[in-house]
């Protein structure tokens, strides 16, 4: 991991920014790699990574060394050691840190590169390739000094307001003050998202495989390819999705505090599991605690996690900001479809912070002050294929809500 920051810590709470009641967000910061030099015979080269301005959200960049070019190219394993690492800037962090590249032996003029593996998550891309040159004619690039904020560990600081319990769990098609709904606020379909799954309830569609049921491991949200299509709202639906929605469930709603789920994710291609929050005043805003984009070819259910916020009002989205993280490389976290893992969010007046297995994975300035939230857990379906590989189930082992003043 890169080790350092600039010489002065910069605090930026964006307290003076006008969020326009959750419809505006400060601009993304631009992340750039900067060219660097080191002295021949030196054991380390320091490569600056810089943000152009304070960031309102976590910015994550994956970087890797690449061999040089031409007659003076430096080669991995001969002149330097390969570095494949992650650079993380959190809100309030200094704007510069350095990546350390171990040098084996490099002569005058030899050079190699550091490059971004893809566009930064949570930020814009500036200079994506830096050239690192051995030279005695220029002062060597120095290691940045200072302190970056370490990731937070999840801690429930509010009062326990709700805990999922098999004996008291209730649900119905539209929910109620003491129960979950098995539909979304606008119904049982999400055609605008190109979803192909109908959100099912066994009391409305008898004979189907149970879309929500308790197993020995926890509460199961089951998605499926239907044995017999269901004709609903003028079309045939070939897949069944599953949802529990807290829009009318008063105990599930908070303004500030924490939501924490422990769950095992599906692994089926075409499934779209999520834990998310919607404002009780209507969509948007939205806070996505976890999303699994199983309909995307790149998605790895065991190594990827996505965190996002959506701003706007009156049914119109004005911004979307978030990250898709390869969490094994960034944080050493993996195996989300293999076992149970904890996904949490802490909503405070200044920042919203996301956690996986107790480790902070993302943070954003909170543009939604004064909103109250209700939770949704679901497994959507977005496919036209066989939908029979792996598991289409999300299993919730525990779910707790903590409210804060």
pLDDT tens digits, 353-374: 999 999 999 999 999 999 999 9
Helix (H) or strand (E) holding 328: helix 327-331
* Separation of alpha carbons 4 and 292, rounded Å: 32
Helix (H) or strand (E) holding 240: strand 235-245
Of 3-17, 241-255, 330-344, the one with minimum mean pLDDT is 3-17
Residue 324 belongs to a domain: yes
Predicted confidence at residue 13, as pLDDT, reads 73
Q: What does pLDDT average to over the chain? A: 95
Domain that holds residue 85: 30-134
pLDDT at 67 exceeding the cut of 50: yes
Predicted confidence at residue 147, as pLDDT, reads 82
Distances (CA, A) of 115 to 28, 112, 271, 372: 20, 10, 33, 42
Q: Are residues 104 and 53 in the same domain?
A: yes
Q: Are residues 130 and 163 in the same domain?
A: no
CB within 8 Å of 194: residues ≥ 6 apart:
382
Q: Are residues 363 and 302 in the same domain?
A: yes
Number of compact structural domains in the chain: 2
Q: Are residues 166 and 237 in the same domain?
A: yes
pLDDT at 5 exceeding the cut of 50: no
Residue 13 belongs to a domain: no
pLDDT at 2 exceeding the cut of 70: no
Residue 140, judged by CB atoms within 10 A of its CB (0-12, 13-18, 19+), counts as middle
Residue 106 belongs to a domain: yes
Q: Are residues 118 and 174 in the same domain?
A: no
Helix (H, G, I), strand (E, B) or coil at 341: strand
Predicted confidence at residue 8, as pLDDT, reads 34
Q: Are residues 307 and 195 in the same domain?
A: yes
Four-point Cα dihedral 176, 369, 356, 405, nearest 10:
-70
Q: Is the pTM of this model over 0.85?
A: yes
Predicted confidence at residue 54, as pLDDT, reads 95
Q: Are residues 165 and 90 in the same domain?
A: no
Question: Shortest CA distance to 48 belongs to which of 91, 87, 103, 75?
Answer: 87
**How many other CB atoms are found less than 10 A from the CB of residue 270?**
25
Q: What are phi and psi of 54, to 5 degrees?
A: -55, 140
Q: Which residues pair with 404 in a beta bridge?
A: 256
Q: Are residues 66 and 176 in the same domain?
A: no
Predicted confidence at residue 4, as pLDDT, reads 39
The separation between CA 30 and the C-alpha centre of its own chain, rounded to angstroms, equals 19
Predicted confidence at residue 1, as pLDDT, reads 41
- What the block records as the tokens of 174 is 């539209």
The answer to whether residues 135 and 109 touch, using CB atoms and an 8 Å cutoff, is yes
Q: What CATH number is associated with residue 122?
A: 2.60.40.2030
* Separation of alpha carbons 375 and 159, rounded Å: 17
Residue 404, judged by CB atoms within 10 A of its CB (0-12, 13-18, 19+), counts as middle
Of 11-25, 208-222, 304-318, the one with minimum mean pLDDT is 11-25
For residue range 133-145, what is the model confidence (pLDDT) as tens digits?
A: 999 999 999 999 8
* Separation of alpha carbons 125 and 49, rounded Å: 11
Q: What CATH number is associated with residue 333?
A: 2.60.120.200
Residue 217 belongs to a domain: yes
Bond from prior residue into 285 cis (ω within 30 degrees of 0):
yes
Q: Are residues 395 and 289 in the same domain?
A: yes
Q: Are residues 268 and 386 in the same domain?
A: yes
* Separation of alpha carbons 273 and 199, rounded Å: 13
Predicted confidence at residue 11, as pLDDT, reads 46
pLDDT at 303 exceeding the cut of 70: yes
Q: Give 66-127 as a DSSP string.
A: E---STTB--BTTTB---EEEEEE-TT--SEEEEEEEBS---TT-EEEEEESSSPBTSEE--
pLDDT at 10 exceeding the cut of 60: no
Q: Are residues 170 and 296 in the same domain?
A: yes
Q: Are residues 117 and 248 in the same domain?
A: no
């Amino acid at each position: 991991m890169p080790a350092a920051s600039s010489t002065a810590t910069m605090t930026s709470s964006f307290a003076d920014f006008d969020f326009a009641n959750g419809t505006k967000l400060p601009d993304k910061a631009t992340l750039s790699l900067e060219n660097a030099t080191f002295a021949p015979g030196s054991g380390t080269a320091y490569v600056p990574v810089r943000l152009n301005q304070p960031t309102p959200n976590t910015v994550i960049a994956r970087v890797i060394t690449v061999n040089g070019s031409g007659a003076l190219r430096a080669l991995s394993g001969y002149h330097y050691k390969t570095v494949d690492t992650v650079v993380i800037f959190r809100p309030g962090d200094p704007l510069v840190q350095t990546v350390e590249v171990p040098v084996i032996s490099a002569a005058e003029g030899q050079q190699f590169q550091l490059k971004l593996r893809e566009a930064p998550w949570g930020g814009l891309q500036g200079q994506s390739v830096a050239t690192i040159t051995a030279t005695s004619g220029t002062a060597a690039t120095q290691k940045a000094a200072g302190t970056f904020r370490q990731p937070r560990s999840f801690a429930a600081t509010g009062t326990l307001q709700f805990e999922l319990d098999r004996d008291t769990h209730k649900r119905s098609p539209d929910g109620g003050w003491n129960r979950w709904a098995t539909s979304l606020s606008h119904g049982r379909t999400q055609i605008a998202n190109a979803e192909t799954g109908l959100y099912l309830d066994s009391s409305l569609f008898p004979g189907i495989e149970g879309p929500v049921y308790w197993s020995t491991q926890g509460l199961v949200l089951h998605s499926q390819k239907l044995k017999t299509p269901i004709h609903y709202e003028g079309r045939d639906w070939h897949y069944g999705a599953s949802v529990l929605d807290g829009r009318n469930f008063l105990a599930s709603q908070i303004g500030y505090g924490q939501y924490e789920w422990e769950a095992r994710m599906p692994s089926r291609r075409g499934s779209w599991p999520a834990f998310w929050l919607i404002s009780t005043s209507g969509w948007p805003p939205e806070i996505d605690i976890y999303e699994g984009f199983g309909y995307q070819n790149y998605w790895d259910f065991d190594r990827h996690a996505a965190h996002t916020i959506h701003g706007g009002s009156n049914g119109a989205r004005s911004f979307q900001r978030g990250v898709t993280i390869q969490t094994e490389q960034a944080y050493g976290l993996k195996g989300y479809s293999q076992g149970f893992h904890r996904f949490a969010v802490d909503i405070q007046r200044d920042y919203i912070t996301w956690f996986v297995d107790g480790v902070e994975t993302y943070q954003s300035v909170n543009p939604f002050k004064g909103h109250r939230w209700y939770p949704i857990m679901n497994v959507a379906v977005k496919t036209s294929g066989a939908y029979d590989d792996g598991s289409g189930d999300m299993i919730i082992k525990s779910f707790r809500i903590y409210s804060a003043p």
